[in-house]
A and B are shown apart, each in its own frame.
Chain A
Amino acid sequence: MRRVAGLGLMSAAALAQATWAPRFEVGGAFPNLVLAAVVGLSWTLGTRSALVWAVAGGLLLDLTSSGPIGPHALALLPGVYVSGFWIRNLEHPNAVHVALTAAVCTVLYSAVLVLADDLLGTALPAPGAAVQLTIAAAIYNAVLAPFAYELVRRLQSLVRAAPQTS
């Protein structure tokens, strides 16, 4: 049940990312719904589970983008791993903690994505534009992440309450 809910969440986030999110573009940046969901999962399920879900969500993003399959999955991992050191030592996060995690994850995600693009020889933005887009996306995702965290928490409560099938 937990896996079905997780897969449903990631699929919905990735599809909404490829179809709806670009409609909310501000200054060239738009929210990353998969990243926001992964941040929510990091705070609710822990780092190891979030790493696995980050790969699942990243692969779905890769299927909707051009180029090889894998860069988005790879780019989501460092943020989850690094924020894990903080998450492990904090029992009751508030919205600011979650927002800061999303901002850090966005910066690492963008940096790894640009590095992966460079390594694989695919589309590479100009450094100035990349920094500008990253800052805008970090703010955007930081605003969005607390809502995603709340959604994941509620989803987790629903899954726990549902009768378990073995």
Chain B
Amino acid sequence: MQGARAPSRATGLFVVLCAATLLLAMLSQQPWAAGARGMAKSALAPVESAMTSFAAHVDRVAAVLGDVSSLRAENQRLRAADEQLRRQIVELQASAKENAALRQALNFQKSSGHRMVAANVIGRGPDGFSRTMEIDRGTADGVQPGMVVATGAGLFGRVRESGPHAAIVQTLGDPQSRVNVYLSTSNLQGTLFGGPTSLQMEIQHMLGVSASNGEWAITSGVGGGYPRGLVVGEVASVMHRDTSTTDQAQVAWVNDPASTTFVLVITDFLPS
């Protein structure tokens, strides 16, 4: 049982710690603290990188174990050979998937005409409110805040902070993310913003034209925030609103942040 003075002592400590963390947050947000903040965040990058690759290893082992449990009914003699073969298949499938993604990224890099830096995803934002990812490239590799991040499939997000050897990317799923896009068939313009489960789009009305499912949302370049022509996603559903000047659509993002392991940072385009 704690003493009678415990509540007041805890209150004092609570107030001091709240004030200290709030002050730290306000100070570390200042532009002059960006360098120190980036360096502090970079310090954890090597450990995060090691843990992420370890997690990928665990995933492969778990996949093998899952397969083994489903094969228990088969005879004892074949089990060892089967396990080995299945492990090889899983590893080959993983390699093939990675090869395909790398090839897609290489094609994207060649066709886009932009200069790019490839980076591995080493961490993800710790809370569900902000959708960010940490990559293993930073200012030492030419990665600067504001640079656009893509994958072979299309637009992924933007570099928000950069340390010497790591950077934090704000993905399109982040609530603060905004991208001006046009639709491939109807040519309607709109703004796409992030959400916890899917991307939302506000489509501007145009007389006699309406958006439809299956259209591609492509960056329009309006506002100078993103280069024109990057694929963002496919319109999954449209909600027409007669009383509003805009329609609302849900867009299926071409990228799946949960399975994205490497990205391309476009280093020769900065928002105007």
Which residue numbers of A lie inside 8 Å of B, CB to CB?
14-23, 25, 27-30, 32, 34, 46-48, 51-52, 54-55, 58, 60-61, 63-74, 77-78, 80-81, 84-85, 88, 91, 110, 113-114, 116-117, 120, 122-126, 129-130, 132-133, 136-137
**B139 to A: closest C-beta gap in Å:** 16
Could you list 8 examples of A-B contacts with CB < 8 Å? Answer: A15-B51, A16-B51, A20-B51, A63-B40, A68-B37, A71-B21, A72-B127, A123-B176
Tell me the nearest residue of chain A to B44, going by C-beta.
A63
User: Which B residues lie within 8 Å of A55 (CB)?
Assistant: 17, 20-21
Contact B134 A64 (CB under 8 A): yes
Tell me the nearest residue of chain B to A18, going by C-beta.
B123
Q: Convert B16-45 into 0s and 1s, putting 1 for each residue whose CB lies closer than 8 angstroms to a CB of A.
A: 011011111110110000000100110110
Per the bound structure, the CA–CA distance linking A115 and B52 in Å amounts to 31
Contact B176 A122 (CB under 8 A): yes
Known A-B contacts A22-B124, A116-B25, A123-B175; the reply to A27 vs B129 at CB < 8 A is no
Per the bound structure, the CA–CA distance linking A20 and B134 in Å amounts to 13
Tell me the nearest residue of chain B to A129, going by C-beta.
B196
Q: Is residue B55 within 8 Å, beta carbon to beta carbon, of the partner chain?
A: yes
Q: Is residue B207 within 8 Å, beta carbon to beta carbon, of the partner chain?
A: no
Q: Is residue B113 within 8 Å, beta carbon to beta carbon, of the partner chain?
A: no
User: Which B residues lie within 8 Å of A15 (CB)?
Assistant: 44, 47-48, 51
Tell me the nearest residue of chain B to A47, going by C-beta.
B10
Per the bound structure, the CA–CA distance linking A25 and B51 in Å amounts to 18
Q: B124 is contacted by which of A19, A28, A88, A122 (Cβ under 8 Å)?
A: A19
Contact A88 B2 (CB under 8 A): yes
Which residue numbers of B lie inside 8 Å of A, CB to CB?
1-2, 6-7, 9-11, 13-14, 17-18, 20-26, 28-29, 37, 40-41, 43-44, 47-48, 51-52, 55, 122-130, 132, 134, 160-161, 168, 170, 174-176, 195-197, 258
Tell me the nearest residue of chain B to A17, going by C-beta.
B126
Tell me the nearest residue of chain B to A19, going by C-beta.
B51
Contact A18 B126 (CB under 8 A): yes
Per the bound structure, the CA–CA distance linking A125 and B24 in Å amounts to 23
Contact A74 B25 (CB under 8 A): yes
Contact A69 B51 (CB under 8 A): no
**B265 to A: closest C-beta gap in Å:** 15
User: Which B residues lie within 8 Å of A132 (CB)?
Assistant: 196
Interface centre among B9, B24, B122, B128 (most CB of A within 10 A): B128
User: Which B residues lie within 8 Å of A72 (CB)?
Assistant: 126-127
Q: A64 is contacted by which of B6, B44, B170 (Cβ under 8 Å)?
A: B44
Contact B176 A65 (CB under 8 A): no
Contact A74 B1 (CB under 8 A): no
Contact A19 B176 (CB under 8 A): no
Contact B176 A74 (CB under 8 A): no
**B261 to A: closest C-beta gap in Å:** 12
User: Which B residues lie within 8 Å of A129 (CB)?
Assistant: 175, 195-196
Per the bound structure, the CA–CA distance linking A47 and B1 in Å amounts to 12
Per the bound structure, the CA–CA distance linking A72 and B128 in Å amounts to 12
Per the bound structure, the CA–CA distance linking A81 and B9 in Å amounts to 11
- What are the 9 A-B residue pairs with the smallest beta carbon separation, nearest first? A70-B25, A28-B196, A68-B29, A74-B21, A70-B24, A18-B123, A123-B176, A123-B130, A22-B124
Contact B18 A74 (CB under 8 A): yes
User: Which A residues lie within 8 Å of B127 (CB)?
Assistant: 32, 61, 65, 72, 113
Contact B128 A30 (CB under 8 A): yes
Per the bound structure, the CA–CA distance linking A136 and B197 in Å amounts to 13
**B100 to A: closest C-beta gap in Å:** 21
Per the bound structure, the CA–CA distance linking A21 and B258 in Å amounts to 11
